[in-house]
Structure 1
């Protein structure tokens, strides 16, 4: 350029200063045309300072080449987004005069994106990520959609796509229909693109995953990619960057079908969040996802250390939030089977944390009472947890001990547990009495069928039913036989005498049932010898 034509000095982001011809630039840029239209009579050199020019000096230079080459430029995937952002910034949407339009030229090049190589798409996306501005978001989406489209096509065209080649003009496939490779190897070959997309920022990964979900890509594969991305990026990220990455991973998983996301994966994410300052919104999403499939968790999953500053050994509040999420929503309806699984898990957890000397009574009770009574068929594990808790917290008052024991449903305690409780000095005497009373009620129900209401002549199953009653009574009898060993107070002597009387009645009933069995055997034998047609008794009655 001749010196006399360089009448405009442009400082681009403090990186570099350009001396340009004002009249040439204003032919193509509406921004300059509008700016210098007010100072057309000005003499001498003018200076313009840009602080946020997209692409910096490189982007401005590319725009200058277009202007000084009479509206022509060599646009390729490697500089398309740079030219596009410069054109948007310089307002080159419509030519000031009858000249070419840089924005229109980039649009034509973008329309050929389907013919780009996989390598070209990645190069363009890398540049796009560096120049990510609001005006460029549409082009970012088109580039990401192209990537997703090719991944969808790859998964549909062949069950085992090969590793991509940056030199190929398309994604190559290699699949032997007679191959005997394992399912694990086949799935691994579906993840060939994971490494190629590690350069993406968390923002672009979120946009990519949303596009994948819209195109109904396999959620299991998407989840695998997110975990792979998180692990790979963490090695070189700062604490703040790690928080942003894990928040994105959580947010994307919350949009997926949770049946495709293993509970183990969610707990793995949870472990990563420990020590990171992630947003409350993301943390709530993660806890809700885990709580919705709590029935798939294990005891080891729940043993999460308490946050810094909390005296408890394990994070009890976290588990309580899981329970709240499970009861509120759940992964589908909270069926009785799922409820019992969770109850069994929580009982194990309660027993595991019971020896913690710092565990407050309120937290212990909150765990023990979080689920309805119908969720448990047996309270033996809860009794075990209370026993350990009282052992460690010996300083508790009698009132506090009784409050804890109110958690128990004595009718759902096994005879062995009731026997142990009645001799357990750590429990209040009232609990021992209640345990014995519950066993008494069980015996009353078992003795409800008396000899006068049974007729073995009418039904061959009658004697068998009585025999079954005796078998059940034997279990209850074990509790009654130990009544003499119970350390009861004087006020409970009447109960002791009553239980001993019931023991005698159980023994009498057992003798009566033995007699019925002998008589039934004789009747059956006589029928077999006197009749040509004999009907065998059901197994339960034999």
Structure 2
């Protein structure tokens, strides 16, 4: 209850010529008013007065009135005909209180409800900033504001306005190049994204609905991603130390629950397109999800998204600290392994062509191979970084090194360096474990410097050192073979064997398959030519047998010489008269080749 001086202050605008005959109590506020102005505008108060006509009601308590005493004061002013300004900061409350008090057109013309609705549709929904202000006011008016569709109208207006601004910005960046072609300039790419800062003041549930509506309207994924990054940085850094490890502020449980809700909501709103958000933001979001113990589905979704673009990550990104008990490893190796598995799986599924004809490309290396090489270097550096950890088990170290396919690493220097660091930090390994670990290295893919270091490395098993010396000897022979002439077959053969082995190791299975298809096609053409020649010989053989049966030996010899001339096995014609049959034979050969190739394929 408010004191008497407050009552006088609240009711200072009411005329005092007629004494009040009804007292309204609203959320601790008391208003001494008159029945007639209220009954003429409010259907709810009219019904309450009519129900207690016999007892001459003089006191009414309005429970759960939206907006509280301040909002009821505006409604009472409207009933008394006192002018006040409808703004974006009170229009949502006026819509809700007019519905609560039933101030509709059924009881009075141009009532408060219609006035507020008109302002909302004609003024607020035409301006994005005002829509955001109304949504902020609706946060304390739910679920009534949602039932009156105040929230949905503002959200639709924001999404439409942002989409229109983006289209207008795209048209403004169109310009003609020097060649006369129309293209979009790269300057001011985010001119139409000024709304990002405005949306960051919304509560997470309202923000989620706005972003969902923007996605449905076709707002660019890059703009959605930029808005998510901006919102996450503001919500997760202003109250806690999640993204600022140097800060030692203590956060309460309510703040932790709020941050957990923010992280899970942002994960669900991330665009499906690759590179729509920076990968360092994805890693930061994953760390926050692990610290806040978010749902497993959210963390797995983050790992899948990171795995799809792991080739653009850096070493600092994947060095995820372990948030478990003190006896565990310094870094979360299991999470990195799952991310790496996601990368390998999406590489196989997304890059797999629908038709085998795609393999016929003559390019020496495919985009997936480029990504594999980048990730292999990243993983080798990661292994070298985590290798000194005394708590890192051999199985976890090996599972990271074994996940990538064999053709991902064209050079094994990085892997050798990581294994050497692990052997140096874990000197208690058995000989069997050392052999298992060194089997991961292809010593033929070591550079000359790494091979020289490995040949003198006492930490390696004896078998590995022997392999290093063997391949070093082959490399030496290969370098010496360059000084031999082309007539010496032995060095040339050795050089071909070593170089072809390195080439096949660097080629991906897709490139090998394309080479096999080309060889297979050439063999089919050669087979078609042989079949054509065989058919010609069979026809000539039948003709010679028929001639032998009809004529004598003299005629047979002359016929035999003519047939030999028609065959022209060696491609030489002795007279002009034989040129015409040769042309006919060539036409027949080409037709037979076409039919044979078609039947073979």
1:133 equivalenced with 2:143 (yes/no)? yes
TM-score where L is the length of structure 2? 0.60
Once residues 34 and 366 of structure 1 are traced to their aligned partners in structure 2, the CA distance between those partners, rounded to angstroms, is 76
Tell me the number of residue pairs that the alignment of Structure 1 and Structure 2 aligns: 438
How far apart are residue 215 of structure 1 and its match? 2.3
1:144 equivalenced with 2:159 (yes/no)? no
How far apart are residue 391 of structure 1 and its match? 1.0
Once residues 35 and 353 of structure 1 are traced to their aligned partners in structure 2, the CA distance between those partners, rounded to angstroms, is 75
Aligned residue number for residue 58 of structure 1: 70
| Contact 2:124/2:131 (8 A) holds in 1 | no
Aligned residue number for residue 318 of structure 1: 335
How far apart are residue 350 of structure 1 and its match? 1.0
1:6 equivalenced with 2:21 (yes/no)? yes
Aligned residue number for residue 546 of structure 2: none
Which of 334, 344, 349 matches 2:382? 349
| Contact 1:354/1:389 (8 A) holds in 2 | yes
1:407 equivalenced with 2:440 (yes/no)? yes
Once residues 381 and 210 of structure 1 are traced to their aligned partners in structure 2, the CA distance between those partners, rounded to angstroms, is 45
Which of 17, 42, 45 matches 2:30? 17
Q: Residues 80 and 472 from structure 1, CA distance in 2 versus in 1: closer, same or farther, beyond 3 angstroms?
A: same
Aligned residue number for residue 100 of structure 2: 89
Which of 199, 202, 207 matches 2:201? 199
| Contact 2:162/2:192 (8 A) holds in 1 | no
| Contact 2:23/2:59 (8 A) holds in 1 | yes
Alignment of 1:188-227 (within 5 A): 189-227=191-229
Aligned residue number for residue 522 of structure 1: none
RMSD of aligned alpha carbons: 4.4
Tell me which moved more, 393-402 or 242-251: 242-251
Which of 61, 83, 104 matches 1:48? 61
Alignment of 1:225-236 (within 5 A): 225-233=227-235, 236=238
1:261 equivalenced with 2:277 (yes/no)? yes
Which of 317, 320, 328 matches 1:304? 320
Once residues 139 and 186 of structure 2 are traced to their aligned partners in structure 1, the CA distance between those partners, rounded to angstroms, is 33
Q: Residues 121 and 421 from structure 1, CA distance in 2 versus in 1: closer, same or farther, beyond 3 angstroms?
A: closer
1:333 equivalenced with 2:333 (yes/no)? no
How far apart are residue 465 of structure 1 and its match? 7.0
Aligned residue number for residue 513 of structure 2: none
How far apart are residue 290 of structure 1 and its match? 1.1
Which of 394, 399, 403 matches 1:370? 403
How far apart are residue 35 of structure 1 and its match? 6.1
TM-score where L is the length of structure 1? 0.66
Aligned residue number for residue 512 of structure 1: none
How far apart are residue 67 of structure 1 and its match? 3.9
| Contact 1:159/1:186 (8 A) holds in 2 | no
Aligned residue number for residue 508 of structure 2: none
Once residues 261 and 369 of structure 2 are traced to their aligned partners in structure 1, the CA distance between those partners, rounded to angstroms, is 39
Alignment of 1:269-280 (within 5 A): 269-270=285-286, 276=292, 278-280=294-296
| Contact 1:298/1:345 (8 A) holds in 2 | yes
Aligned residue number for residue 506 of structure 1: none
How far apart are residue 54 of structure 1 and its match? 2.0
Q: Secondary structure at the match of 2:117?
A: helix
1:124 equivalenced with 2:134 (yes/no)? yes
Q: Residues 269 and 235 from structure 1, CA distance in 2 versus in 1: closer, same or farther, beyond 3 angstroms?
A: closer
Describe the superposition over 1:61-102 as per-residue Cα deviations: whole angstroms up to 9, x where unpaired: 2333344449x986444432111121333455674x576654
Q: Secondary structure at the match of 1:369?
A: helix
Give 5+ residue unaligned stretches, structure 1: 162-174, 447-460, 477-542
Q: Residues 381 and 271 from structure 1, CA distance in 2 versus in 1: closer, same or farther, beyond 3 angstroms?
A: same
Aligned residue number for residue 531 of structure 2: none
| Contact 2:329/2:391 (8 A) holds in 1 | yes
Describe the superposition over 1:439-488 as per-residue Cα deviations: whole angstroms up to 9, x where unpaired: 99x89xx9xxxxxxxxxxxxxx9848755434468999xxxxxxxxxxxx
How far apart are residue 188 of structure 1 and its match? 6.0
Alignment of 1:65-76 (within 5 A): 65-69=77-81, 75-76=86-87
- In our comparison, the structure showing a higher alpha carbon Rg is 2
Q: Secondary structure at the match of 1:111?
A: helix
Q: Residues 465 and 220 from structure 1, CA distance in 2 versus in 1: closer, same or farther, beyond 3 angstroms?
A: farther
Q: Secondary structure at the match of 2:458?
A: coil
Q: Residues 375 and 319 from structure 1, CA distance in 2 versus in 1: closer, same or farther, beyond 3 angstroms?
A: same
| Contact 2:24/2:59 (8 A) holds in 1 | yes
Q: Residues 418 and 116 from structure 1, CA distance in 2 versus in 1: closer, same or farther, beyond 3 angstroms?
A: closer
Aligned residue number for residue 469 of structure 1: 493
Aligned residue number for residue 524 of structure 1: none
| Contact 1:351/1:388 (8 A) holds in 2 | yes
Q: Residues 73 and 294 from structure 1, CA distance in 2 versus in 1: closer, same or farther, beyond 3 angstroms?
A: same
Q: Secondary structure at the match of 2:218?
A: coil
Q: Secondary structure at the match of 1:48?
A: strand
How far apart are residue 294 of structure 1 and its match? 0.6
Once residues 218 and 299 of structure 2 are traced to their aligned partners in structure 1, the CA distance between those partners, rounded to angstroms, is 26
How far apart are residue 394 of structure 1 and its match? 0.6
How far apart are residue 353 of structure 1 and its match? 1.5
Describe the superposition over 1:209-242 as per-residue Cα deviations: whole angstroms up to 9, x where unpaired: 2232222222223322332344345564355255
Q: Secondary structure at the match of 1:17?
A: strand
Alignment of 1:149-160 (within 5 A): 149-158=160-169
